[in-house]
Structure 1
């Protein structure tokens, strides 16, 4: 996700770059090297079968959901847990925004959002459940008997979500309705147990496994929709459009709706790239940036494995946000005269499709892992497209400049970039440490390892951990495997991590 602090630097950097960036450039897109054997499938995906209807008159969504969850642990599970992210928007004092952002997040004044669970059943029998956690964002379900290793639990639930009038991740503004983090989604159980962190105001407070989604969406006919997954069928009934959507090996499912979308598309190999712009404003440019980003990252890291990717203009004050197959881009960026800020944020959010979407990680406890790689991948996009001199200018005048500007006000206390979200005091601190200092670390790692070893490591990291969740230790081991140099000191120096 790109923050507002970065926008000012984007505009400053543009003033330096616009003379030097050529409109003509050459591509060298060779097929990404397969370093290890390709991903060979997961047979225990959590399955979500959802029927959802958007009710425009009261800005709510009404849904029925079935979940098939398999216990992959070597122990019985007495309870299972799901996230109820919409409840973070219920009370003003708990809304997931910093205080200084509230007026921008709620331009029309605070408006609550929430989810109401109507019932949860296993088969025909109601099961015990409890809503708990900070801001009531955790759902604990207690099956009639413990779920043993390898056993499967099938749950069905009905719920309604009231969308808030906010221009954040979930909510609506003048042009778009952002339906994200909206349904009960399984929490991750890993070596430390259930991950039940709240919806923090700083960073991207999400951690999820890939799953399989079959979703039926019912919309008023005047709305167009950008969505995760493949729309396999559309039909009309009683004045509404009914979409049948399939998505597999994705970490979430989102929809962005608008009456004002103009849609353009182009193909990159087996992937269709869509541009959803408001009344066509800068839609062609956004589409071209999307195409270029997919080409660059395919060649650098490995092929994007899905059939579609949507670049979506949104009422979204934060700048940009990544979701599976969908990148949200603030409408403000389309309205800026300069091209660079829009291109930078589109490239950054599309890089997240590789680092977060395909290769996952715990974005709460190790946010540097996807954000630093994504920020540096964005530099590599400009390097590949426009040349090393442009990449260097962006690195010096935006990446390093932000970090140096930050430590002018907040002296560096020797802390590393490996920190959890709860350890950051502000988005400015988070962006300066995780994005900027994180990208500075990757730049030094690249120089120290050498180009061949560095690129091979990124490709191997992508190939080994696609559709899985990786850790800092996993990334370190992949890099260590591909060089004879000792990386321990370098990693410790920047991350303060034990390797």
Structure 2
């Protein structure tokens, strides 16, 4: 994501990166929502099913209401117990869920796009529901991950899941979303979130040479040239990244273009991207379909594992090898978590995006371009729809090269 840096208002506690597989896992979401005629408010029922993949039984699960991170009340859930802030709801299970067993929780939910031009917000006649749908929290060796959104970038951590979402409405609205419609239900397999928008969008589509449909959904003041440029860039990037990192697993990508957002320039969701027009970071957000969308990570603990990779992929797509980009010993490691970057927001973009991608270019110069290409393709394939850690990437890099990379990690602040 590219996002303007916002001032952190409260200190954030630091949590360790995961060192064991996340649990519960294998989640599926069944959602049926009805929208008001203007598409601003959606209410209905959500069911989350999941398997306990931990070694011990689970007495409860937690659900994240990320849509409340900038103000309570935009997402209302009936049932469970609100925890610490309005972005966490605890659901005690009827009985402890033993390892390997499956259970589900159901609740009523109401979502109202707040009065702000943001990824979850309202802009004129248009409503946007990014990070709005309640999703299952993740538990690993560090415990339940209930970190706050620090106000910049992303603090999200989810596992790949199946979504079946029915969005019903009576208004004269277009409702683009994650997934592909089947009998009125948006179906998305093995994705980490589900987002949608609602309003009188203008829509167009093309199919990339690789066979992926790119649909655009634009607000009225977005120019036809801006739409055409974003559509063409996305199609080219989908095919290029598919060749480099593994074929894009879906048949469609939706681009939603608006020229009124002030809090961000682009935000990625599975198969669904919000873009500021006309100067939108299209290729970067498409790269996120792989780096976080397919190869997941804990975005709070390790933001560089997706932002640095998406920035590097954009550079490679544009033929920019960033020669001489490394500034030398850094005062702060690029591997710091979002708790740190939230408290040092003016450094976040420089270190995580710029120096993080530069580190990857330096690694390519050290091991050679063929080895780097093999590394990223193998790394993506190995962790397809999984969750990676810094240790996993370091191990993959070392396996791809005969060069001892220990000095490189030390010199580039990768602990």
The question of a shared fold, defined as TM-score above 0.5 by the shorter chain, is answered with yes
Q: Is the CA contact (8 Å cut-off) linking 2:56 and 2:98 kept in structure 1?
A: yes
Q: Where do residues 330-345 of structure 1 align in structure 2 (5 Å cutoff)?
A: 330=276, 333-334=277-278, 341-342=279-280, 345=281
Of the three residues 288, 300, 306, the one matched with 1:352 is 288
Q: Deviations over 1:243-269 (max 9, x none)?
A: 311111000010022213232232443
Cα distance in 2 for residues equivalent to 1:247 and 1:267: 20
Cα distance in 1 for residues equivalent to 2:168 and 2:261: 24
Of the three residues 413, 420, 423, the one matched with 2:337 is 420
Paired residue for 2:311? 375
Cα distance in 2 for residues equivalent to 1:478 and 1:57: 49
Q: Secondary structure in 2 aligned to 1:319?
A: strand
Q: Secondary structure in 2 aligned to 1:153?
A: strand
Residue 496 of structure 1 deviates from its aligned partner by 4.0
Cα distance in 2 for residues equivalent to 1:366 and 1:439: 14
Paired residue for 2:16? none
- Corresponding position: 1:461 with 2:382: no
Paired residue for 2:157? 207
Q: Is the CA contact (8 Å cut-off) linking 1:264 and 1:283 kept in structure 2?
A: no
The TM-score with structure 2 as length reference comes to 0.89
Paired residue for 2:197? 256
Kindly name which structure, 1 or 2, has the bigger radius of gyration based on alpha carbons.
Answer: 1
Cα distance in 1 for residues equivalent to 2:170 and 2:155: 32
Q: Is the CA contact (8 Å cut-off) linking 2:178 and 2:270 kept in structure 1?
A: yes
Residue 143 of structure 1 deviates from its aligned partner by 1.1
Q: Secondary structure in 2 aligned to 1:226?
A: coil
Q: Is the CA contact (8 Å cut-off) linking 1:270 and 1:307 kept in structure 2?
A: yes
Higher alpha-carbon deviation: 266-275 or 464-473 = 266-275
Residue 152 of structure 1 deviates from its aligned partner by 1.2
Does the C-alpha gap of structure 1 residues 370 and 146 become closer, same or farther in structure 2, counting only changes over 3 Å? same
Cα distance in 2 for residues equivalent to 1:178 and 1:413: 38
Q: Secondary structure in 2 aligned to 1:353?
A: coil
Unaligned runs of 5+ in 2: 6-23
Residue 215 of structure 1 deviates from its aligned partner by 0.9
Unaligned runs of 5+ in 1: 6-42, 92-112, 120-128, 234-242, 335-340, 384-390
Q: Is the CA contact (8 Å cut-off) linking 1:416 and 1:493 kept in structure 2?
A: no
| Higher normalized helix content (fraction of residues) | 1
Of the three residues 251, 259, 265, the one matched with 1:319 is 265
Q: Secondary structure in 1 aligned to 2:59?
A: coil
Paired residue for 1:435? 353
Cα distance in 2 for residues equivalent to 1:184 and 1:3: 22
- Corresponding position: 1:130 with 2:81: yes
Q: Is the CA contact (8 Å cut-off) linking 2:212 and 2:235 kept in structure 1?
A: no
Does the C-alpha gap of structure 1 residues 276 and 204 become closer, same or farther in structure 2, counting only changes over 3 Å? same
Q: Is the CA contact (8 Å cut-off) linking 2:37 and 2:172 kept in structure 1?
A: no
Residue 56 of structure 1 deviates from its aligned partner by 4.3
Q: Is the CA contact (8 Å cut-off) linking 2:203 and 2:215 kept in structure 1?
A: no
Does the C-alpha gap of structure 1 residues 268 and 221 become closer, same or farther in structure 2, counting only changes over 3 Å? farther
Q: Is the CA contact (8 Å cut-off) linking 1:262 and 1:278 kept in structure 2?
A: no
The TM-score with structure 1 as length reference comes to 0.74
Cα distance in 1 for residues equivalent to 2:39 and 2:269: 26
Cα distance in 1 for residues equivalent to 2:130 and 2:161: 16
Does the C-alpha gap of structure 1 residues 457 and 316 become closer, same or farther in structure 2, counting only changes over 3 Å? same
Does the C-alpha gap of structure 1 residues 256 and 268 become closer, same or farther in structure 2, counting only changes over 3 Å? farther
Paired residue for 1:388? none
Paired residue for 2:275? 329
Paired residue for 1:8? none
Cα distance in 2 for residues equivalent to 1:413 and 1:460: 29
Q: Is the CA contact (8 Å cut-off) linking 1:84 and 1:136 kept in structure 2?
A: yes
Q: Deviations over 1:169-195 (max 9, x none)?
A: 201112531112122210112232211
Cα distance in 2 for residues equivalent to 1:225 and 1:492: 48
Paired residue for 1:218? 168
Paired residue for 1:21? none
Does the C-alpha gap of structure 1 residues 262 and 58 become closer, same or farther in structure 2, counting only changes over 3 Å? closer
Q: Secondary structure in 2 aligned to 1:444?
A: helix
Paired residue for 1:151? 101
Of the three residues 279, 299, 303, the one matched with 2:243 is 299
Higher alpha-carbon deviation: 274-283 or 475-484 = 274-283
Runs of 4+ in 1 over 6 A off after TM superposition: none
Of the three residues 61, 72, 75, the one matched with 1:115 is 75
When the two chains are superposed, the root-mean-square deviation of aligned CA atoms in Å is 2.2
Q: Is the CA contact (8 Å cut-off) linking 2:230 and 2:282 kept in structure 1?
A: yes
